[in-house]
Amino acid sequence: MQRLFLASTSTIHGKPYLTYILPELLQFFKGIDEILFIPFARPSGLTHDEYTAVARKAFASINIKVKGLHECKDPIKSIKEAKGFFTGGGNSFVLLNELYQLNVLPVLRESILNGTPYFGTSAGSNIAGPSIRNTNDMPIVYPPSFDSIGVIPFNINPHYLDPDPTSKHMGETRETRINEYQFYNKISVIGLREGSWLEVNGTEIMLKGELNARWFETGKKTIELNTNTKIVSI
């Protein structure tokens, strides 16, 4: 039974990295003493070592060791043997491209479907959907495809922002961008506000955190999803 914890963001304004969800992560990774960290999204250009050190420090506080996938000589074997995964945020194009280069998307998908718990933040959550077509990131590298892990049946737009009625900026709002997406794609999208996350247990997906989320489904009116409710069945 697959288990995923997909967060909109790693960090809430004013709080240290991951602290707002550490109690939940302790539950999510119960009984697991080491996880495999996927550092490829490189936020602000952090090296894989630097980024892994950030994740390691946060998980040390709940007594979970962190190994970086870039440290593994045989990434496919390491993914197969991992007890849990954490993919950090950054640039979704860079992250996905690196996963394609290493040819690890199929084994990552298989491991998740077989029940290895997967935790993602931002870009790390984005790639759990069928594609990265709803990322907010800049396309700074060209991946072989926008198709991603696809272990949930809809895409995630992390860091979802509501339109600001006082803004004088003429760039598209997040809602406009996702509406444009729906002209070309049938797969639904959840706009996850910062502080929200999805908990996936087998066929059940729950929205968690203090805020509601935004649900975009082609041909239907966009709606608000209440937090702490089951949102869809796989």
137 is catalytic: yes
Cβ neighbours around 196 below 10 Å, total: 23
Tell me which of 135, 148, 188, 196 binds a second copy, using CB under 8 A: 135
Tell me which of 35, 38, 39, 42 binds a second copy, using CB under 8 A: 42
Site for a second copy in 92-131 (CB under 8 A): 93-94
Tell me which of 2, 4, 6, 11 binds a second copy, using CB under 8 A: 11
Long-range (24+ apart) CB contacts under 8 A made by 203-209 are 203/233, 203/234, 204/230, 204/233, 205/152, 205/230, 205/231, 205/232, 205/233, 205/234, 206/230, 206/231, 207/231, 208/24, 209/8
The catalytically annotated residue of 137, 148, 188, 196 is 137
* Of 93, 75, 73, nearest in space to 85 by CA: 75
The catalytically annotated residue of 48, 78, 147, 159 is 159
Distance of CA 204 to the CA centre of its chain: 17
Cβ neighbours around 83 below 10 Å, total: 15
Shortest Å distance, C-beta 172 to a second copy = 8
d(CA 65, CA 139): 32
Rg (CA), the chain: 17
Determine if 45 is a binding residue for a second copy (CB under 8 A): yes
Give the interface segment with a second copy, choosing from 3-11, 51-59, 62-70, 111-119 (CB under 8 A).
3-11
111 or 155, CB closer to a second copy? 155
85 or 93, CB closer to a second copy? 93
> Which of the 8 DSSP states describes residue 178?
H
33 or 49, CB closer to a second copy? 49
- Strands 223-225 and 85-87, by their bridges, are unpaired
Give the interface segment with a second copy, choosing from 79-87, 110-118, 136-144, 209-217 (CB under 8 A).
136-144
Amino acid in the structure at residue 231: I
Is the separation of the CB atoms in 184 and 204 below 8 Å? no
159 is catalytic: yes
Site for a second copy in 145-204 (CB under 8 A): 145-146, 158-159, 161, 168-172, 176-181, 183-185, 194
Residues that bind a second copy (CB under 8 A): 9-14, 42-45, 90-91, 93-94, 132-142, 145-146, 158-159, 161, 168-172, 176-181, 183-185, 194
**Residues designated catalytic:** 122, 137, 159
